[in-house]
Every structure is written in C-alpha cells, then in structure tokens.
Amino acid sequence: MVATAPFLARFRHPAQVVAAGFSFAIGIGTALLSLPIATAGGESAGWVTALFTAASAVCVTGLVVVDTDTHWSVFGEVVIAGLAQVGGLGIMTMATVFMLLVSGRLGLRARIATQAETKTLSMGDVRRLVLKLVVFSLVCEVITAAVLAGRFLIGYGESFGRALYLGGFHAVMAFNSAGFTLWPDSLIRFVADPWICLTIATAAIVGGLGFPVVFELARHWRHPRKWSVLTRVTVMVTVILLVVGTLVFLVTEWQNPKTLGALDDSDKLLAAFFTAVMPRSAGFNTLDISQMYPSSWLVTDLLMFIGGGSAGTAGGIKVTTFGMLAFIIWAELRGESRVNIGHRRLPEATQRQVITITVMGLMLVAFSTYVLLAMTPHGLDQVLFEVVSAFGTAGLSTGITASLGPAGHVLLTVLMFIGRIGPLTLGSALALNRRARHYELPEERVIVG
C-alpha cells in the first residue's frame, strides 16, 4: 500500500486516476484471460479476444466475441465476474476500501479521486459513503443470487452447487449491469419465467439508479418534497423511459412472430418490460434482438444512449443528463434566462456539462459508426446498434459482434472504455491544466439557426 501514493502522485487530476485505474484493471484482466487455464480448451486465447472480454467486463458492458460458457473455463468465468464486480463498484471505490482496511485512514488525494469516481457531493462523506456502498452492493447481490439459485434449483433441476454458481454469477452481472450470461442465447429460454426476469430486472434497475439516489430514497421515500434535484430527475426520467419503452416494444413487436408474437399476452407484457429495462445498460435479452424490427432497434438505440443514473453501474450519458437537457430546452423555448427544476436553479456550469456530454457522445457515436461502416459489410442499422451498445455499455447486440474483425473489436473496446468512464471524465483527464481568463471580451450577438 506504500506504493499507492507514488502511483497516485503521477496524476494531477482526479479523473486521470479514474482513467488509469480502469486501464490498469483491463490490463490485468487481459493478462489473466490470456492464460491457458482461462479457456475451456486449455489454449491461450488471442490477445484481441482477451482484451475485448476484459474491457467488456471491467466496463460492465456484456458484449462478447466468444460464447462465455463454452469458450472460458471456470477460472475464466470467475475472472470475468471479478472484473465486472470491480468495474461496477469503481476502481477508486475498491482502492479506497483496500486503503481503509490496511491503514484505517484515507489521504486527501485518495479522497478527491474517490469523490470523482463515486460522484459524491462532499469529500467529508466519501469514507462513510464508500463503506455503505460496498455493503449495499454485496447485500443486493446476495439477495439476487439467493432468489436465482433457488429458482434454478427448484424450477430447473440444477444441482445445489451448479444452482449456486449460476445464481451468484448472474447476480453479479445483473446488479453491475454487465450482461454476461452462461447460456449462448442470453436469457431467451427464460422469457416466460417471472422469477428470473423480474429478479434480474430489479437488480439492474437498483444498480443503475445510482448509489446517491438509492441512499436518498431509502431515507426519504415517504417524503418526495425532500428529494434533491438529482433524485427527482433520476426517478422521473427512469419511470418515464421504462413505461414508454415497454409500451413501444409492446406495440411494435406485438405481432412479430419471431419475438413477442409467439407468446401469451401476459408473457408479452413481461418480455416487453424486460426489454425496456435492459437498454439501461444491463445487457441481457429474453427476445432475439436480431429478429426485432428496425424501428425497435432505433428505440433501443435511444434508450442505450441515455443509459441509467449517475454514480451507478449503468452507462450512457445518464438519465440525469437527459432530464436536465430537457429542462434546458424547455427554458430556452419559453425564453427564460434561468433553468429551474422544482424549487432549485440549475447552475450554468452544470448546463454546460450537460450539453458537452451530450454533444461529445453524439459526435463519438457518429464518428465510430462511420468508421465501422467503412470496415465491415454490415448495414447502418446493425452497425449503429453495435456502436451505441458499446458506448452506452449496454451489451446488447444484433449478432454481428464476433464478425467485426480485430480492428472492429479494438474500436468497440475503446468505445466501451470511454462510455464507462464518461466523455467528460476522459476529457478532463486529458486536460492537465485549467486556464483561467483574467479578462472578458466584448459580447457580440450571433445568428443561430
């Protein structure tokens, strides 16, 4: 632990530590998955396959280029689950816990770095919050694992050991929004099983809300008037997206014989709800994505791009960003000089961050889509879906991931990395110095539109 301080001292901005931590975890994961013991056949996996899988796990995405159950050994699967756990909680959160356990104290630099990762609003609360975060995560995963293991044991005749392993593995993946499964068809075989679907969906929603929001809801769930702007926007946008997504998938896919068309009405509702939850970044699917209509792909693209809550396990630009962007647009349309949410005013610095994150995300998705279209023979619908899934760390795919080739896999790896740490975090990590202007230039009105 003595070496921690020199390592952190190399970086001048907290966001750099976060980026470096995720890079280090991906490197370790790549090395472990490259070992012969990590594959079922006892042969070393190619470095691109190991890198892509490690990045997909650390960035809690769930995109795969090989079948997880048949290609990787138990050791490899445990490594993948461990990487997803580390990626879900956050490198800085885990490092903070280790420092607390060993030294019992937390230095200022580490507190600042952890604050950048956990999105806490006060450095004084970092230590207490991180410990609460870890306990909360483990409790949620244990409960999810117990329900899933019981279902696999009783409902599907799995042995006790196998049921426990399946329950634990998928509990980690569900709560951390990772999306890896131990079946080649993801969760399609469980499309009509509410025990499996609702348990995994609930874990994904809770993990994707964001830990500050979950903790505040636990304290003031009976008193919405006491909710902060963060909690109000997160809950409101999350509910709207879940309801709208479910209705859209029901209407669009109702008569599609290859998706909802073959199910009973109650099963259709369950499958549509599950499909609306998963683009939050969870990555599981109970319907064959490749057989969905292009209109459903477009809706899924939008949901994946938005993602889940801030400081949670989900990716995307975040529901808070999307919600605040809507308030910014509404205020501009009404000609108001200030953006108000409830009884609070949104700071101008936050407004700039919202616009920056959204525009950077759109530009990155557009550029990556163009590059991938030039490199592969696939159509725009499929390529755009793949790119948005990687950027939003959603893990959903139309089935073309394995056929993109090494160059395409490296591109998606970069997208997953950027999507996990956030466009603004990466940008601030690269900007070593903040330049303060000591003067103001004359203002000039420019025609817009």
Question: pLDDT per position in the chain (449 positions), as tens?
Answer: 444 445 545 555 666 777 888 899 999 999 999 999 999 999 989 999 999 999 999 999 999 999 999 999 999 999 999 999 999 887 656 555 555 555 555 565 666 666 566 655 555 566 777 788 888 999 999 999 999 999 999 999 999 999 999 999 999 999 999 999 999 999 999 999 999 999 999 999 999 888 878 888 888 888 888 888 888 999 999 999 999 999 999 999 999 999 999 999 999 999 999 999 999 888 999 999 999 999 999 999 999 999 988 777 888 999 989 999 999 999 989 888 888 887 788 888 788 888 888 999 999 999 999 999 999 999 999 999 999 999 999 999 999 999 999 999 999 999 999 988 876 565 555 454 456 667 788 888 787 77
Q: How far apart are CA 343 and CA 225, in angstroms?
A: 10
Pair 120, 129: CB distance under 8 Å: yes
- pTM for this predicted structure: 0.89
Phi, psi of 344 (to 5 degrees): -130, 150
Please, what is the angle between helix 423-430 and helix 348-375, to 10°? 100
Pair 9, 109: CB distance under 8 Å: yes
Other Cβ atoms within 10 Å of 441 Cβ, number: 6
Tokens of 401: 């991931």
Please, what is the angle between helix 380-391 and helix 348-375, to 10°? 140
Give which of 420, 422, 380, 376 is closest to 401, Cα–Cα: 376
b/e burial code for range 216-242 (CB count within 10 A of at least 16 → b): bbeeeeeeeeebebbbbbbbebbeebb
Q: What is the DSSP letter of 72?
A: B
